[in-house]
Each structure stands twice: as C-alpha cells, then as structure tokens.
C-alpha cells in the first residue's frame, strides 16, 4: 500500500496577478514616456500607483489566513480588505488630483484602466492547485 497523504491546498498565487499588473504599468510608463516625455511617464506612474497600491493592500489583508477553521475570519478579512481597497483608491485619487495633479490626465487614466483590466485575466493568472 502506497503512503497516502492528503492533498495540500496552496494559497492562491496572487503574486502572478500583481506581477502582471506591475508589468502593464511599466509598459504604460515606457510608452507614455516615449510618446510624451517625462511628464507623460510621470502621469502613467501616478495612474498605475493608484491601482497597484490598493491591490497590494487587498492581497496582504485578504490572504493572511487559510484553513477551514478560519472560514469566518477569512470572509471577514475579505470584506475588510475590499472596503479598505475602495477607501484607499478614493483617497489616492483625491490626493493625486489635489496635491500633485497629473500633467496628462489621459495617460493617468489609461495606466489606471490598463492595470485594472489585468483583473479580467485573473482566472488564468491565479489558479488553485493541489499537490500530489
């Protein structure tokens, strides 16, 4: 009889999603810098950060626990993480437009939407796998 061990479920690999978002923002910074100079690149950087920072917060807050015995706390963490992500996004938009407005709002919003659009790829990027 072979040594049977229960399958271990690994945590969701959200690092892939965040890495692709970073790559998209870097690509947007490069394109806007090439077409509109340093001011365009800075505007894209600001837009990318408004999307990335709340995403990092959500990943940190939501995926701290795992296991069936923590199910209630995991759900609470997801709700709190989503509320915090929303609040942080609003605060960053206010901060950017009040303190350091982007010189090119088109690049700002393009970088934000491009990074946000990576979430459409999340079923492909974040997979739950079981190890044998």
Q: Which of 21, 8, 4, 2 minimizes the C-alpha distance to 126?
A: 21
Average pLDDT over the chain reads: 83
Q: Under a CB-based contact definition with an 8 Å cutoff, are residues 107 and 40 in contact?
A: yes
Q: Has residue 6 got a pLDDT over 60?
A: no
Residues 48-106: tens digit of each pLDDT: 999 999 999 998 888 775 655 667 787 888 899 999 999 999 999 999 999 888 888 99
Q: For residues 61 and 77, is the Cβ–Cβ distance under 8 A?
A: yes
SS3 62: helix
pLDDT average, residue stretch 28-46? 94
Angle between helices 14-62 and 105-117 (to 10 degrees): 90
- Please, where are the H alpha helices in the chain? 14-62, 71-99, 105-117, 122-125
């Amino acid at each position: 009889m072979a040594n049977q061990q229960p399958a271990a479920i690994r945590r969701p690999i959200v690092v892939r999603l965040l890495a692709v978002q970073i790559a998209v923002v870097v690509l947007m910074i490069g394109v806007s810098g090439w077409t509109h100079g340093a001011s365009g690149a800075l505007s894209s950087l600001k837009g990318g950060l408004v999307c990335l920072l709340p995403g990092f917060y959500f990943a940190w807050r939501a995926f701290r626990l795992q296991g069936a015995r923590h199910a209630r706390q995991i759900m609470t963490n997801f709700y709190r993480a989503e509320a915090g992500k929303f609040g942080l996004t609003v605060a960053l938009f206010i901060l950017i437009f009040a303190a350091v407005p982007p010189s090119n709002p088109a690049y700002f919003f393009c970088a934000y939407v491009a990074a946000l659009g990576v979430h459409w790829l999340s079923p492909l990027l974040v997979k739950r796998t079981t190890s044998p």
